Amino acid sequence: MNSTVNKYDFYDDEIVKKFVIATVCWGLIAFLVGLVVALQLADWRFNFGLPWITFGRLRPLHTNAAIFAFAGNAIFAGIYHSSQRLLKARLSSDLLSNLHFWGWQLIIVSAALTLPFGYTTSKEYAELEWPIDIAITIVWVIFAVNFFLTIKNRKEQHIYVAIWFYIATIITVAVLHIVNSIAIPVTFLKSYPVYAGVQDALVQWWYGHNAVAFVLTTPFLGLMYYYIPKAVNRPVYSYRLSIIHFWSLVFIYIWAGPHHLLHTSLPNWAQSLGMVFSLMLWAPSWGGMINGLLTLRGAWDKIRTDPVVKFLIAAVTFYGMATFEGPLLSIKSVNSLAHYTDWIIGHVHAGALGWNGFLTFGMLYYLVPKLWKTNLYSVKLATTHFWIGLLGIILYIMAMWASGITQGLMWQAMDDSGNLLYPDFVETVIRLVPLYYVRFVGGLLFLLGFLIQIFNLTATVLQANKEKVKDPVAKGSRIPFKDVISESSHRSLEGLPAVFSTLVVIAVLVASAFSLIPALFTPTKMSAKSIIRPYSPLELVGRDVYIREGCYLCHSQQIRTMSSEVLRYGPASTMEESIFDHPFQWGSKRTGPDLARIGKKYPDLWHYRHMMDPREVTPKSLMPAYAWLAKDKISFDLIPKKLRIMQQLGVPYSEYEIDNSIETAQMQAATIAKELHEHGAPSGLEKTEMVALIAYLQSLGQMSIKPLEVK
């Protein structure tokens, strides 16, 4: 190559290729792990009795791989490819681009190396421990700097709407990640979040909901606004509608988080607020969907012939369906049926497989031939992928709808005298097993389609000319800043990223501040300590075992304010009861029963036998066995440090309690072990995590010092 050629005259597509390859590789892993966890839910034997591949450890790996590895890399590939062309500028720094790429892959690898070993914060989609959280922050800042410098260097004056969506993504994800991840480290891979109980729940679901909004929605909408017009060679149906779409989402999305906490002990008005804002989201979401679909006006025939268009349009249709279902599920009465059931899993996968998956697949079919300067190896194979994948998604969603509604109705079903028709929880589970196999088949088809795509894309790359051809940066016509101002003030906003970004920051921060206000209405630890006692040292250790094993992924600890729940589990949970819980363990899914009042319901020996082999005490239970808990030893020496950090966070432990915590824990462990042994369990359990977990489970719902106030 001629040395006088300036590299900034060409787009940097090497980094896009890297992210494309990473997307494909991590997608394969995410889908494979998904299949494994699906099988584990259908038959417990697929847990193989191994700690690191038990459902509770693998599910966070599946969700993190799907969201941050597959979708994450896809977003970066699409953003880096489309932004350079929309801004008519090469990415500002090759160094930053590569740091971004390798840093992100390193984060994913560390996730894969920590989650199966039980290093988890137990905060859904934010399970990674604090050192990885810091790495995420650094890499995100690198991405942001690279992106904003590219905007600064742009040769296109105007900023296309896709870039707006990218900017909102970068800003909001940073805010969400930092606020939700604030924690105090205990060891190198263990920390306690600064929030507890209802406050932690509120922060977590403000994060969780908006991770869906700003990782899985806004960046993909940006991609939609670029790749659909490119694929059909037509401008977006209505640019005006895209602006309404954007600002409505930015202004409304943040408020909707509490819809994950309906009928819980969160103040009722905060629940209603979350519900109303969720309902409002119907309008902009459907506005956006219609805008995407109508971009095909006059080119509808391309749906038949072009697999890229097939995938993109199906993706937008799934966006419409998922964003119809979301607000529907946020209506309190619908939510009372659907929450904690597989309906939610079906809803999530309509979005993840249909919207994110298919949009990414369409983008890949568009990008790979473009990047490697060749044609797609086989249109026929791509079409086959489309139909197999679509069939897979439909099977998956239908199975989960049926399963969720069945179980929800069974939980609420009452006989003529007003008693529960299915008082035994496991009765409601065994009904679902056939549907879990249907779900597995759906997932298998989806993966099969993806394998066809991998073959097709590999063949495409292999047939490409090895000679590298670079795309030159398009000629731009950027007007100097001062002329923009004088030219026309009212046109400048859409070309001023700084002003624009500030507006987004204000909208997001104001909404966040307001949606976290309910946290101020919760009781303080000071006021609660006369009602609720904190965990004993051994119970606290058991709680960490509970978190490590991912128990919260199948067991909630929150009895909702519904008569069927009170009949089944006891009085509805109160805010005070989880006030010392750093982190909260309310859960979001009940594959097993709620545990908020499990304490003292069964003798210690029952729990021992249940952990060793759940089917011995509950025939047909789906729960994996946790026999290793009877072998793994408790780290007693860490206990004082754990209590000290809890004390710093406001949990009322006295100096005396902290100083004597090891002895207290050993005494309680010895008492439990002795009793277990007397009833027939083997001796020597007093040093094992088994007794700690039993101590914790027996404390649940038993922490009241005096009867709770009835309001």
Partner 1 sequence: MIREFLKAYPYMELAVVGQLLFFAVFLSVIFWIFRKGSSQFYNKMSHIPLMEEDN
Distances (CA, A) of 577 to 197, 351, 533: 8, 34, 9
Binding mask 414-453 for partner 1 (x = CB under 8 A): ----------------------------------------
Q: Which of 31, 130, 160, 318 binds partner 1 (CB under 8 A)?
A: 160
Compute CA 128 distance to the chain's CA centroid, rounded to the nearest angstrom.
12
β-pair partners for 191: 185
Binding mask 225-264 for partner 1 (x = CB under 8 A): xx--xx--xxxx--xx--xx--xx--x-------------
Q: Note whether 322 and 354 are within 8 A (CB).
A: yes
At position 322, the amino acid (one-letter code) is A
CA–CA separation, 453 vs 25, rounded Å?
A: 12
Q: Is the Cβ of residue 1 or residue 520 nearer to partner 1 in the bound state?
A: 520
Q: Is the Cβ of residue 236 or residue 658 nearer to partner 1 in the bound state?
A: 236
Q: Which stretch binds partner 1 (CB under 8 A): 298-306, 516-524, 638-646, 688-696?
A: 516-524
Question: Which candidate, 397, 218, 389, places its Cα nearest to that of 314?
Answer: 389
Give the orientation angle of helix 282-294 with respect to helix 239-252, to 10 degrees: 150
Return the residues of window 134-153 that contact partner 1 according to CB under 8 A.
none
Shortest CB 183 distance to partner 1, Å: 24
CA–CA separation, 339 vs 496, rounded Å?
A: 43
Please give the structure tokens belonging to residue 105: 């892959």
Cβ contacts of residue 711 below 8 Å, gap of 6+?
A: none
At 340, phi and psi to the nearest 5? 70, 0
Q: Is the Cβ of residue 181 or residue 522 nearer to partner 1 in the bound state?
A: 522
Q: Is the Cβ of residue 44 or residue 226 nearer to partner 1 in the bound state?
A: 226
Q: Is the Cβ of residue 174 or residue 228 nearer to partner 1 in the bound state?
A: 228
Residue 474 binds partner 1 (CB under 8 A) = yes
Shortest CB 420 distance to partner 1, Å: 37
Binding mask 685-704 for partner 1 (x = CB under 8 A): --------------------
CA–CA separation, 581 vs 544, rounded Å?
A: 11
Residue 7 binds partner 1 (CB under 8 A) = no
Q: Which of 50, 109, 182, 517 binds partner 1 (CB under 8 A)?
A: 517
Residue 161 binds partner 1 (CB under 8 A) = yes
Q: Which stretch binds partner 1 (CB under 8 A): 157-165, 381-389, 452-460, 608-616?
A: 157-165
Task: Name the one residue in this structure whose structure tokens are 């994060």.
Answer: 207
Shortest CB 574 distance to partner 1, Å: 17
CA–CA separation, 369 vs 126, rounded Å?
A: 35
Shortest CB 497 distance to partner 1, Å: 14
Give the orientation angle of helix 358-371 with respect to helix 218-232, to 10 degrees: 50
Q: Note whether 608 and 676 are within 8 A (CB).
A: yes
End-to-end CA distance of the chain: 78
Residue 297 binds partner 1 (CB under 8 A) = no
Return the residues of window 363-382 that contact partner 1 according to CB under 8 A.
370
Q: Is the Cβ of residue 154 or residue 209 nearer to partner 1 in the bound state?
A: 154
Residue 162 binds partner 1 (CB under 8 A) = yes
Shortest CB 503 distance to partner 1, Å: 10
Q: Which of 304, 466, 490, 706 binds partner 1 (CB under 8 A)?
A: 490
Residue 471 binds partner 1 (CB under 8 A) = yes
Distances (CA, A) of 688 to 57, 579, 631, 662: 20, 27, 6, 14
Q: What is the 3-state secondary structure (H, E, C) of 134-199?
A: HHHHHHHHHHHHHHHHHHHCCCCCCCCHHHHHHHHHHHHHHHHHHHHHCEEEEECCEEEECCCHHH
Residue 269 binds partner 1 (CB under 8 A) = yes
Q: Which of 185, 487, 521, 684 binds partner 1 (CB under 8 A)?
A: 521
Shortest CB 6 distance to partner 1, Å: 18
Q: Is the Cβ of residue 85 or residue 687 nearer to partner 1 in the bound state?
A: 85
Binding mask 83-112 for partner 1 (x = CB under 8 A): --xx--------------------------
For 519, the 3-state DSSP assignment is helix
CA–CA separation, 195 vs 585, rounded Å?
A: 12
Shortest CB 74 distance to partner 1, Å: 18
* Count of residues touching partner 1 (by CB under 8 A): 35
CA–CA separation, 75 vs 78, rounded Å?
A: 5
Shortest CB 596 distance to partner 1, Å: 26
Distances (CA, A) of 594 to 107, 224, 333, 559, 565: 33, 41, 20, 7, 9
Return the residues of window 193-232 that contact partner 1 according to CB under 8 A.
225-226, 229-230
Task: Name the one residue in this structure whose structure tokens are 């400048």.
Answer: 492
Task: Name the one residue in this structure whose structure tokens are 């681009």.
Answer: 97
Residue 286 binds partner 1 (CB under 8 A) = no
Please give the structure tokens belonging to residue 28: 């394969």
Q: Which stretch binds partner 1 (CB under 8 A): 54-62, 164-172, 519-527, 595-603?
A: 519-527
Q: Which of 14, 94, 494, 675 binds partner 1 (CB under 8 A)?
A: 494
Shortest CB 229 distance to partner 1, Å: 5
β-pair partners for 10: 472
Binding mask 387-416 for partner 1 (x = CB under 8 A): ------------------------------
Distances (CA, A) of 58 to 36, 92, 119, 624: 9, 38, 12, 12
Question: Which candidate, 279, 264, 293, places its Cα nearest to that of 324?
Answer: 279
Return the residues of window 23-82 that contact partner 1 according to CB under 8 A.
82
User: Contact positions toward partner 1, by CB under 8 A?
Assistant: 11, 82, 85-86, 156, 158, 160-162, 225-226, 229-230, 233-236, 239-240, 243-244, 247-248, 251, 269, 370, 471, 474, 490-491, 494, 517, 520-521, 524
